[in-house]
Amino acid sequence: MSLQPPRGTRDFMPADMIRRQYIFQTVKNVFENFGFNPLETPAFESWSILSKKGGAGEEVKDEIYYFKDKSDRELGLRFDLTAPMSRVVAANPQLPKPFKRYQIGRVWRYDRPQAGRFREFWQADVDILGSSKMDADVECLVVAVKSLEALGFKNFIIRINNRKILDSMIKKVGINNSFEVFRSLDKLEKIGEKGVTKELISKGVSKKEVNSLMDMIKMKGSASDMLKKGRKMLKSDGFEELDQVVSLSKQYGIDKYIVVDFSLVRGLDYYTGPVFEVFVKEFENIGSITAGGRYDNLVKNYGGRDTPAVGISLGIERIYEIMSSKKMFKLPSINTQLFVVAVNDAVRNDVIKICQKLRDAGVNTELDLSGRNFKKQLEYADALGISYVLIVGEKELKSKKFPLKDMKKREQKELTLDQIVKKF
């Protein structure tokens, strides 16, 4: 029997979870600041929802954890938070629009584990349903930027493109099956231009068609230059939408992060308009840390009303890895602020009363639960990494002044309980 977690999953010890909860709380505060409200959906969904044509696409469908329950119902673990949310909106047409929701939760994909990629991972999503205006797309981008800035990120870029532009490029070249081409183009960063070319040719695309397509998507430049060059090449409503995104981004002050990139695809089949990915410049090798786009047909695809929609997802695992490697966390390794030490057994009841007073005042407080002696209590608090220890003995109870020991500096001061509460 192995005591290790299943491949592609991890255990998170308390110090790790304090950091992760900091990320969750930070982005949650930003989401709510923009008027997004929480939604929760089940970890597993009906297989018919997860495998629906026009949803994730065949490649992601192959990665879904599929199973049958004891009543032989076909089910699967959710592969993202967007599909379940779209099902909810389809089932509740009375929801006021635009419907703005956020969700922070686990998702699962049977993928090959590697740096920044796991089989069980967390996403933090915001979505706006019911608005076809590019204002909604830009608000999602602004929320992502503000979330990353709140976490301490500075050196990142937002790559944007539009599926409509990609569609026009593919049609101009003369290729018919756009979804198959999208899936191959989405692998550019993983397998490179040669790998994508080989894969497209194996799917029946001619070498000439592949070369023409590559010439178009490889163009680089500023947002204004790229849109001008794109319009000279072909006609597409996507250029007008990207124009609006760039223009609105200037009003929000996030245009400095934006780069128009015609090679950006996003692998999921449900995208219909603008798509975007955020990369940290020093860590582009691990992939995007935030991504999303417009998916105007997904709610309708699940049997709901015609509902335009756009959303963006923060990849918690990659954000966590980068923040850890760059030492961006300035957090304690434990939530306990204060450990109250009983000098002897005679004062243990008084220690309980003092702990209750401190906890009622909002101070995260621990006490000995194992009957340890004075020295062992200090050693235990030190081993846990608790920063402060409060010493309680008969003399201290009489004077109502208690030694507060700083375990890092190895210094102590005598304070009253009121002064201790004030300090924390």
3-class state of residue 89 by DSSP: helix
**Alpha carbons 62 and 81: distance in angstroms, whole number:** 17
Phi/psi for 83 (5° steps) reads: -60, -50
pLDDT value at position 180?
76
- Please tell me the predicted confidence (pLDDT) of residue 58: 63
Whole-number Å distance between alpha carbons of 314 and 81? 11
Cβ count within 10 A of residue 7: 10
Domain with CATH 3.40.50.800 in the chain: 338-423
What are the 10-residue block averages of pLDDT along the chain, 424 residues in total?
92 95 98 98 95 72 92 95 96 97 96 82 98 98 98 95 91 78 79 85 86 84 88 92 96 95 85 95 89 96 96 96 94 94 97 98 97 96 96 97 95 96 95
Quickly tell me which residue has 């969700």 as its tokens. 103
Could you tell me if 406 and 420 are in contact, meaning their C-beta atoms sit under 8 angstroms apart? no
Query: Around Cβ 338, how many Cβ atoms within 10 Å?
Result: 22
* Helices 237-252 + 163-173 axis angle, to 10: 150
Q: Of 161, 139, 93, nearest to 307 (Cα)?
A: 93
Please say whether the beta carbons of 413 and 391 come within 8 A. Answer: no
Per CATH, the number for 14-168+235-325 is 3.30.930.10
Pairing of strands 338-342, 365-367: parallel
Cis bond upstream, residue 274 (ω within 30): no
Per DSSP (E only), the strands in 47-119 are 66-68, 74-77, 99-108
Q: Which CATH class is domain 338-423?
A: alpha beta
Full-model pTM: 0.90
Cα 368 to Cα 173: distance, rounded to the nearest angstrom: 73
* pLDDT recorded at residue 250: 96
Residue 220's pLDDT is 74
| Per-residue model confidence (pLDDT) at position 223 | 87
- Which residues of the chain does CATH 3.30.930.10 include? 14-168+235-325
Is the C-alpha dihedral spanning 368, 369, 371, 375 positive or negative?
negative
